[in-house]
Amino acid sequence: MLTDVENSMKILKREGIILYPTDTIWGLGCDATNEKSVNKIYKIKKRKDARSLLILVNSLQTIKLYVDYPPDISSELMERAESPLTIIYPGAKNLALNLIDNDGSIGIRITKDEFCSALISRFGKPIVSTSANISDKPYPGNFSEIDEAIKRSVDYIVNWRQDEFLLSKPSKIIKLELNGDFKIIRE
């Protein structure tokens, strides 16, 4: 795993794209603070950048670096979550502008995955996480189901956990408002 972490970090620093396992499904990742890298992911997915992507961080404290005023309820929601949870926060900051939604929000998930957490710690920045598929096509349930065109388009494919079946289900998504109100976007 450590070799994959080091190789992935080198690619991310060079504005590259990685294909990697997450706590949910296999994903495409890049430096969440680099617009050029984010554009590469949109191109690979054939996705218009009007729809934002989510980022992975490895701690609750890190969220404050990328969101102006995280509502207090967010920590409670994260602690109570029994499965991976992405929270859409208002007031995104310090991220690639083409990553942030038109309303100024950003989806953030605190990863509990060993590889992702180690990579984020070593890289020192959040990484983009989006399903390893072409937009509007089904997401792959495991590594063997990832389209060969996706595999050819990335700069590095993580070897860690290629033979495992992941959770194979996207995270739950909740959207928070500044006043603490929230709505469930995806169960």
**pTM of the predicted model over 0.75:** yes
Q: Which residues contact 138 (CB under 8 A, 6 or more apart)?
A: none
| Residue ranges, the chain, pLDDT below 50 | none
- Taking the C-alpha atoms of residue 26 and residue 44, their distance in angstroms, rounded to an integer, is 15
- Residue 102, number of CB atoms within 10 A of its CB: 9
Q: What is the pLDDT of residue 182?
A: 83
Q: What is the pLDDT of residue 105?
A: 94
* Cα 38–chain centre separation: 11
Q: What is the pLDDT of residue 130?
A: 94
Sheet of strand 127-131, all strands in order from the earlier edge strand to the far edge: 156-157, 18-20, 27-29, 127-131, 54-57, 106-110, 85-89, 172-176, 182-186
Overall domain count for the chain: 1
Phi and psi, residue 6, nearest 5°: -65, -45
- Taking the C-alpha atoms of residue 31 and residue 125, their distance in angstroms, rounded to an integer, is 7
Q: What is the pLDDT of residue 163?
A: 86
- Give the CATH number of the domain where residue 146 resides: 3.90.870.10
C-alpha atoms less than 13 angstroms from C-alpha of 19 in its C-beta half-sphere? 23
> Which of 83, 55, 43, 46 has the alpha carbon at shortest distance from 168?
83
Question: Burial level of 142, CB count in 10 A (0-12/13-18/19+)?
Answer: middle
Query: Where are the strands (E) in the chain, listed by range?
Result: 18-20, 27-29, 54-57, 85-89, 106-110, 127-131, 156-157, 172-176, 182-186
Q: What is the pLDDT of residue 65?
A: 96
Q: Is the distance from CB of 170 to CB of 65 less than 8 angstroms? A: no
Domain that holds residue 113: 2-186
Q: What is the pLDDT of residue 79?
A: 80
